[in-house]
Amino acid sequence: MGGEDEETQKLKKIAAASYDYENDPKWSDYWSNILIPPHLSSRSDVVDHYKRKFYKRNIDPDLIVEPMPTSSSSQTTRPSASTSSTPNGQTRQRNSGSTSRAPGTSSATASTPTSLRLDQQTISFSVNAWVFVVAVLAVFPLVPRSLSDRAYKLALMGTACSSLYSLYSSYGKPRAWNLQAMQVWFQSVIATKDFIYFVYCLPFATSQLTLKFALLPVMCRSVEHIAKFLRSKFSHSSLYRKYLEEPCVWVESNTATLAILSSQAEIGIGFLLIISLVSWQRNIIQTFVYWQLLKLMYHVPVTGSYHQSVWARIGKTVIPLVHSYAPFLDSPISAVQRWWLR
């Protein structure tokens, strides 16, 4: 039991580390109310500690947050509108900035990015909700095949468009349309989950091969986005509290489980593509591109921990069988492993 609890906490910490704090308005409010000396606020370990505390408070109360080391524990939490008294009995408002601004100016400047962010979140939610409905229609067994195949393509294209829109919202476009500027922009987005899902969906959406199993990661991604939006925007709605709060809380508390399920499906699809090479629907280029994508998923931080866990389990099962029954495959497997880890 101790080992299982340790593994569970490890997965919860991975989920907390990969949570999208920047797009969560609650995190912005929480972080702005933490009073930390400047020499500590720039330290990544201090920021990560408060991110875990935020994740435990708002998303997964079962996460165990270890205490801050004593060398960096000299900070306090302040309320959002706190005041401090001067020796003369006068009060002054504490501000995180170095200069004070007129109330009208600050509210005007703060409202613009907030409204823009809300518009982006609403658009993303609408697309992901549509993708989830279409994906369910594609996998439902009683739907006619022609309609199911069309829904399959639409779900993949919708996810690709949603991922591309998220990339544009977060990273913009390259500064210039030359090789150097595009290379810099590409290096900044290649390790993001949105880019990975864009590359994941595009080949399946344009291929003649129909793998309904490929919709499982798409549905997991859509469910996470939908639950996050509903919790942040409709938490005070009676309809939400009555029907949607429990499933949304479950989704946000089990993001690690959904990520592992997606990783297992993505790896399984890679083997299905290899098997499809012996059929008339084979696509060598798609299979090669997909295994390059799996290699990328193995190495980038946002998906690497989950893929490495799944591959470790596969290795524990397959490698002993190869040693026992097919030792002539040791050399090819070693060569593939060297290419994979390169």
Task: Write down the pLDDT at residue 147.
Answer: 93
Cα separation, 54 vs 189, in Å, equals 26
> Residue ranges of the chain with pLDDT lower than 50?
71-117
Task: Write down the pLDDT at residue 250.
Answer: 92
Which candidate, 210, 201, 220, 137, places its Cα nearest to that of 163?
A: 201
Task: Write down the pLDDT at residue 15.
Answer: 80
Task: Write down the pLDDT at residue 118.
Answer: 53
**Domain locations in the chain as residue ranges:** 1-68, 117-341
For the record, the structure tokens of 85 come out as 């008294």
Task: Write down the pLDDT at residue 35.
Answer: 66
Q: Which residue has the tokens 């946000």?
A: 252
Task: Write down the pLDDT at residue 266.
Answer: 95
Alpha helix (H) residue ranges in the chain: 2-18, 25-32, 38-41, 44-58, 103-139, 145-171, 179-189, 193-206, 215-233, 238-239, 245-253, 255-276, 284-299, 301-325, 330-341
Task: Write down the pLDDT at residue 97.
Answer: 42
The terminus-to-terminus CA distance of the chain in angstroms comes to 36
Q: How long, in residues, is the chain? A: 342
